[in-house]
């Protein structure tokens, strides 16, 4: 068996395993963000702020539909990690085989819903008439490519569960380069506007999915399945949905709350909408180290809980918390000193740049809260405590809706209430996540022990 990139995290230094695993994830996540970043930069600079606002208003909606399939991919990865940690090769293969049925069915349903419901949902967000046409086009086109997202996430999640975080990175880099080239070609050469950047994105995503699956089949024997192994296995499919659905619903609830916040943003007009779109893009970049750290901790905790090594899971949590704190403190002066230039990358209008810069100064003070959503949530997920995902998602929904509706009514705050809502939501949700960790219920949630 080719074990070059496969890592057993149940032995050795926790910090070394986590950081070594997280680095390729971090690089990959940055390239993943190039999809949205390049879309926004190309649209903002070469089409205009209205088109940028149209792309931005779809962000929360796309997150809703993408999360329904990506949550299942994460659940599948958790099952593989726990079986791998328990040295149960048979069930690792069975989980991989049945993941195809789970991902195909989920992505087809979600893609169809996104395409059909796009106009109604965007009008529900109070999308202005002057951008709703472009918004519908962008959302429908990206939803058509959900199957590519689902299969890349599924293959990448399984490879990462086996301790290989490097291979998915290579295909993300390739897809990101393709996305940049196609964005410029479709927008500048062919004049396809918003449709062009959406089309470029789904083509790039399809390439990353096909490449990752082909590599896995050729180089990882777990993926070379025989006819008997490819038969549907009800128990494995049920476990995939039991772990994946709560996380998908968590992200869906978060997306719905973001949609509520987006409707508040839309009420202030296209200038604030464009500034909000830019700060969202910047925050997506900021989240990548936290996300990478969390993904590494999910695999690490999944393998170790499967092996019954509770103390190693605790050490991993402590070390990841320290890393998140240091990184968060470093980001604050960067936002204050260079925020104006960062926002200026996306758009040329001075009024948008000024609002975006001040908004970044507000949210940067709450970045540690954002990090402490990712760290405990990742550990809990890896250990199989995915039921908490519903509680976690619910707390974030309540905070985002409650704060946005209350703070917006304070005249002195005006549209700054939007970004204060974001920071306050991170802080409260982080406290809920940390409290769940210290309750210790995750110690008894291993799927392996329930088998």
pLDDT score recorded for residue 5: 62
Q: Are 439 and 409 in contact (CB under 8 A)?
A: no
Looking at the domain assignment, is residue 111 inside a domain? yes
User: Residue 165: enclosing H or E segment and its boundaries?
Assistant: none
DSSP per-residue string spanning 313-360: HHHHHHHHHHHHHHHHHHHHHHHHHHHHHHHHTT---HHHHHHHHHHH
- Judged by phi (left if over 0) then psi (alpha if -120 to 50, else beta), residue 309 lies in beta
Looking at the domain assignment, is residue 4 inside a domain? no
- Identify the residue whose tokens are 């296995």: 233
The residue range of the domain holding 318 is 14-444
Looking at the domain assignment, is residue 263 inside a domain? yes
Query: What is the distance between the alpha carbons of residues 151 and 112, in angstroms, rounded to a whole number?
Result: 16
Looking at the domain assignment, is residue 295 inside a domain? yes
pLDDT score recorded for residue 451: 43
Query: What is the distance between the alpha carbons of residues 364 and 161, in angstroms, rounded to a whole number?
Result: 32
The pair of structure tokens assigned to 421 is 């809502």
The contacts of residue 9 (CB under 8 Å, 6+ apart) are: 17, 21, 85, 163, 299, 300, 303, 304
User: Residue 410: enclosing H or E segment and its boundaries?
Assistant: none
Chain length of the chain: 451
Looking at the domain assignment, is residue 6 inside a domain? no
pLDDT score recorded for residue 34: 65
User: Residue 191: enclosing H or E segment and its boundaries?
Assistant: none
Looking at the domain assignment, is residue 2 inside a domain? no
DSSP per-residue string spanning 230-255: TS--HHHHHHHHHHHHHHHHHHHHHH
Q: How many domains does one find in the chain? A: 1
The pair of structure tokens assigned to 88 is 């149960």
CA 451 to each of CA 88, 236, 386: distance values in angstroms, whole numbers, following the listed order: 11, 10, 16
First to last CA, the chain: 26
Looking at the domain assignment, is residue 200 inside a domain? yes
Nearest to 219 by CA among 279, 285, 164, 277: 164
Q: pLDDT (tens digit, 9 = 90+) per residue, 337-368?
A: 888 888 888 777 888 888 888 889 999 999 99
Could you count the other beta carbons within 10 Å of the beta carbon of residue 190?
Answer: 12
The pTM of the full predicted model, rounded to 2 decimals, is: 0.71
Query: What is the distance between the alpha carbons of residues 186 and 349, in angstroms, rounded to a whole number?
Result: 24
Q: Are 119 and 136 in contact (CB under 8 A)?
A: yes
SS3 percent helix, strand, coil of the chain, rounded to 5, is 85, 0, 15
Question: String of b and e for 129-159 (b: at least 16 CB within 10 Å)?
Answer: eebbebbbbbbbbbbbbbbbbbbbbbbbbbb
Nearest to 424 by CA among 380, 376, 365: 365
- Judged by phi (left if over 0) then psi (alpha if -120 to 50, else beta), residue 2 lies in beta
- pLDDT < 70 positions in the chain: 1-6, 33-37, 39, 46, 60, 449-451
The pair of structure tokens assigned to 358 is 């001040």
Looking at the domain assignment, is residue 254 inside a domain? yes
Longest Cα separation, the chain:
66
The distance from CA 200 to its chain's CA centroid, rounded to whole angstroms, is 20
């Amino acid at each position: 068996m080719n074990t070059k990139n496969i890592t057993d995290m149940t032995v050795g230094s926790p910090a070394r395993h986590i950081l070594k695993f997280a680095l390729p994830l971090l690089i990959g996540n940055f390239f993943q963000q190039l999809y949205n970043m390049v879309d926004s930069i190309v649209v903002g600079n070469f089409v205009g702020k209205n088109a940028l606002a149209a792309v931005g208003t779809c962000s929360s909606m796309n997150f809703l539909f993408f999360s329904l399939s990506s949550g299942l991919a994460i659940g599948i990865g958790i099952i593989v990690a726990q079986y791998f940690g328990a040295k149960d090769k048979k069930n690792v293969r069975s989980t991989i085989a049945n993941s195809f049925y789970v991902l195909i069915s989920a992505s087809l349903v979600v893609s169809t819903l996104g395409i059909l419901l796009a106009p109604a949902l965007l009008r529900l967000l109070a999308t202005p008439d002057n951008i709703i046409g472009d918004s519908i086009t962008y959302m429908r086109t990206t939803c058509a490519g959900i199957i590519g997202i689902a299969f890349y996430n599924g293959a990448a999640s399984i490879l990462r569960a086996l301790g290989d975080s490097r291979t998915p990175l290579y295909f993300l880099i390739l897809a990101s380069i393709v996305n940049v080239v196609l964005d410029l070609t479709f927008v500048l050469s062919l004049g396809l506007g918003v449709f062009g950047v959406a089309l470029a994105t789904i083509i790039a995503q399809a390439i990353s999915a096909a490449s990752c699956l082909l590599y896995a089949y050729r180089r990882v024997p777990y993926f070379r399945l025989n006819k008997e192994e490819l038969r549907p296995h009800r128990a494995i499919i049920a476990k995939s949905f039991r772990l994946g659905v709560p996380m998908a619903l968590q992200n869906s609830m978060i997306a719905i709350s973001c949609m509520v916040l987006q409707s508040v943003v839309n009420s202030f007009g296209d200038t604030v909408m464009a500034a909000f779109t830019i700060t969202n893009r910047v925050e997506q970049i900021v989240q990548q180290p936290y996300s990478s750290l969390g993904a590494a901790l999910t695999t690490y905790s999944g393998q170790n809980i499967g092996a019954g090594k509770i103390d190693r899971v605790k050490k991993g949590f402590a070390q990841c918390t320290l890393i998140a704190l240091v990184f968060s403190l470093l980001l604050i002066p960067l936002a204050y000193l260079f925020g104006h230039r960062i926002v200026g990358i996306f758009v040329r209008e001075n009024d948008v740049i000024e609002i975006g810069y001040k908004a970044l100064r507000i949210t940067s003070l709450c970045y540690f809260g954002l990090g402490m959503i990712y760290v405990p949530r990742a550990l809990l997920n890896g250990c199989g405590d995915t039921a908490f995902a519903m509680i976690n998602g619910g707390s974030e929904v309540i905070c985002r809706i409650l704060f946005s509706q209350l703070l917006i009514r304070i005249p002195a705050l005006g549209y700054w209430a939007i970004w204060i809502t974001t920071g306050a939501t991170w802080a409260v949700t982080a406290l809920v996540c940390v409290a769940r960790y210290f309750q210790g219920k995750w110690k008894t949630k291993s799927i392996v022990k329930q088998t």
